[in-house]
Each structure stands twice: as structure tokens, then as C-alpha cells.
């Protein structure tokens, strides 16, 4: 019994038939990354809903939570961490403030900046949601052995690093502060 064909396999087969002049194999990798992202995100949404959170609400709260005490970041910091534009962050924060999960205050030391802080209620919500979240994600990956999961993560890390995906302030060989 051979391995079943997935959706992308069929797409590649179609391209090879219709456009024999091009090699579609890159689509086999990137197409599956996109498709997996969409599928997994749909699954996560179910877990978030159990905690009455939208995916984007979870994102913000989780980012604040994992930053550690005092669970506080600037709007710009959140924007960078979330891969969304500043306009979207303003919007998200408005909602979370009205739900009482975060507070918004001008930074006394730099009044251009806005400091977003997790409230106690926000911390309770995110702590419960994260616990569920990771166990849900573990289930989503159950078809892969721990070794395969590590392999997958390593390959993706290599790919991401080649696209400049490094945490702020840790740029490859580029300008680092202080010579």
C-alpha cells in the first residue's frame, strides 16, 4: 500500500500535465506550508472559542503574557511581534480595552508611545487559554513522531532564517548596538 495522495500532490500532477515546461516542485513545498497553516489555524480557532477569544485577541494577550512581568509592551512592540500593521494594532487594543483584558496608557517617559498592560482578568484568561492551546496543538501534530516534529521545526527554522526572520535586536551579522 503506497502513501495516499494529498491535495497538493494532485495539483502538482495537474501542472506537470498542463505545463511540462516548468518544474512545479517548489509549489509542493510552499503550497503545503500555506495549506497546513490554514488548516491548523482553523483548528486553533475552535480552542480559542472555548475561551471566548478571537485568534487575534489570543495573539495580543499571549504576546503580553510571555513577555513576563509587568506584562507590558508598547503598541509598536506588539505590532512587530504580530506581523500586522499599526492600524490593526490600534483596532485590536480598542477591543481588548473595552473587554477589560488590557489597559492603555501613555508612556510617561516617551509620550509618543502607548503602553499596553495585561489586567489581572486578562492574565487569567490567557493563562487558561494557553494551557488548552498547547495541548490542542500537540494533538494537531500527533501524526508526526517527536523526532519528525523536531525535523520539521528545524527545516522551517532554516527556511525562516534565510528570509531574515530573527528576533528584533539579534540581526545576523548586521549592525548591532555598541561596537
Per CB under 8 A, residues contacting a copy of itself are: 3-11, 14-15, 17-19, 22-30, 32-41, 43-44, 65-68, 83, 127, 130-131, 134, 137-138, 140-144, 148-149, 151-153, 155-163, 165-167, 170, 172
Q: Is 39 in the site for DNA (CB under 7 A)?
A: no
Closer CB to a copy of itself, residue 38 or residue 98? Answer: 38
Each residue 101-120 as x (binds DNA by CB under 7 A) or -, in order, gives: ---x-----xxxxx------
CA-to-CA dists, residue 68 to 39, 60, 82, 153, 159, angstroms: 30, 13, 17, 25, 29
* Measured distance CA(35)–CA(32) in Å, rounded: 5
62: Cβ–Cβ under 8 A, 6 or more apart, which residues? 126, 129, 130
CB atoms inside a 10 Å sphere around CB 73: 22
- Judged by beta carbon, residue 15 or residue 56, the one nearer DNA is 56
Site for DNA, rule CB under 7 A: 54, 56, 74-77, 79, 83-93, 95, 104, 110-114
Amino acid at each position: 500500500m503506497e502513501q495516499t495522495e494529498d491535495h497538493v500532490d494532485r495539483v502538482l500532477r495537474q501542472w506537470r500535465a498542463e505545463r511540462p515546461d516548468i518544474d512545479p516542485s517548489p509549489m509542493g513545498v510552499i503550497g503545503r506550508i500555506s495549506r497546513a497553516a490554514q488548516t491548523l489555524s482553523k483548528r486553533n480557532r475552535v480552542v480559542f472559542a472555548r475561551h471566548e477569544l478571537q485568534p487575534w485577541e489570543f495573539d495580543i494577550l499571549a504576546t503580553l503574557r510571555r513577555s513576563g512581568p509587568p506584562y507590558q509592551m508598547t503598541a509598536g512592540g506588539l505590532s512587530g511581534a504580530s506581523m500586522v500593521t499599526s492600524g490593526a494594532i490600534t483596532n485590536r487594543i480598542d477591543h481588548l480595552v473595552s473587554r477589560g483584558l488590557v489597559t492603555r496608557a501613555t508612556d510617561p517617559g516617551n509620550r509618543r508611545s502607548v503602553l499596553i498592560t495585561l489586567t489581572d482578568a486578562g492574565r487569567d484568561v490567557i493563562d487558561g487559554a494557553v494551557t488548552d492551546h498547547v495541548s490542542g496543538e500537540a494533538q494537531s501534530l500527533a501524526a508526526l513522531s517527536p523526532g519528525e516534529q523536531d525535523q520539521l521545526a528545524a527545516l522551517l527554522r532554516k527556511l525562516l532564517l534565510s528570509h531574515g526572520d530573527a528576533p528584533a535586536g539579534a540581526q545576523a551579522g548586521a549592525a548591532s548596538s555598541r561596537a
